[in-house]
Amino acid sequence: MDLQLSGKTALVTGSTKGIGLGIARSLAREGANVIVNGRSEASAKAAADQIGNGARWIAADVSTAEGCAVIAEQAGQVDILVNNAGIFEPKPFADIPDEDWERFYQVNVMSAIRLTRALLPGMLERNWGRVIFISSESGIQIPEEMVHYGMTKAAEIALVNGIARTTKGTGVTVNAVLPGPTASEGVTDFVGQLASEAKQTPEEFEKEFFRSVRGTSLLQRFATVEEIADTVAFISSPLASATNGAAVRVDGGVLLATA
């Protein structure tokens, strides 16, 4: 299937590793002109070099208004915005201090609000564009081990719901993609650490995690980054024009409801 992405410019935030890098790779493979983003010049440049195909890079911290302004200015015209940058950290609810709530909100939510606010008007003017929020199944089934993370992922779904309304009758769509547990760098490092603390191999830990923590998963393993990225590439494409205001699940069946 030709996703018809050649000539489109795609900006993926937080794309120096993990799901973001996977999305940037898939979009570049389909012919899009990709812009990667990370906080340091070295990591952003390394990711762009790895992707090749003329990928550009912008070093900026999406968690600040200044960082988002730098990205919006340096990116120029953007046809596809993927709000991917995000952080997670399990912590008991009673131990989450104000600073963590604030930090999670700035990185996971305000970054997407600021960049969408800056780039959506151009898409509407040109009557074509894609905005994709990388939310999570955790935005619907809030995990008790990281309520603050779940809150930010639910906020992203709410934003998509509202912002999509502003695209009525245009060629612009605004959607959320909801990955389930995925073997990104961030998650793999974290799993390795927990497995060694529990004196388990990563494979034993994965099996136990899907038995006891994400028991509803039908996949019963971590999704690969590519499994998420290819769905995002499709939602980015002109072929997905009838999907707007949706929460597209790539959750391995973790969520119990079918809609």
Footprint of ligand NAD on this chain (CB under 6 A)? 14, 16-20, 37-39, 61-63, 84-88, 107, 134, 136, 179, 181-182, 184-187
Which has the closest alpha carbon to 137: 223, 212, 63, 205? 223
**Least separation in angstroms between CB 91 and ligand NAD:** 15
**Least separation in angstroms between CB 49 and ligand NAD:** 15
149 counts as catalytic = yes
User: Exactly one of 149, 209, 210, 222 is catalytic; which is it?
Assistant: 149
How far is it, in rounded angstroms, from Cα 226 to Cα 207? 21
**Least separation in angstroms between CB 216 and ligand NAD:** 15
How far is it, in rounded angstroms, from Cα 3 to Cα 109? 29
Q: Which DSSP state fits 210?
A: I
**Least separation in angstroms between CB 68 and ligand NAD:** 9
Count of alpha carbons within 13 Å of 191, Cβ hemisphere only?
21
Q: Which is nearer to ligand NAD, 20 or 129 (CB)?
A: 20
7 in Cβ contact with 33 (< 8 Å): yes
Using DSSP, state whether 243 is helix, strand or coil.
coil
Q: Which is nearer to ligand NAD, 43 or 53 (CB)?
A: 43
CA distances to 51, 94, 141, 171 from 144, rounded to whole Å, are 37, 11, 9, 39
Q: Which is nearer to ligand NAD, 43 or 170 (CB)?
A: 43
Q: Which is nearer to ligand NAD, 18 or 129 (CB)?
A: 18
The catalytic site residues sit at: 149
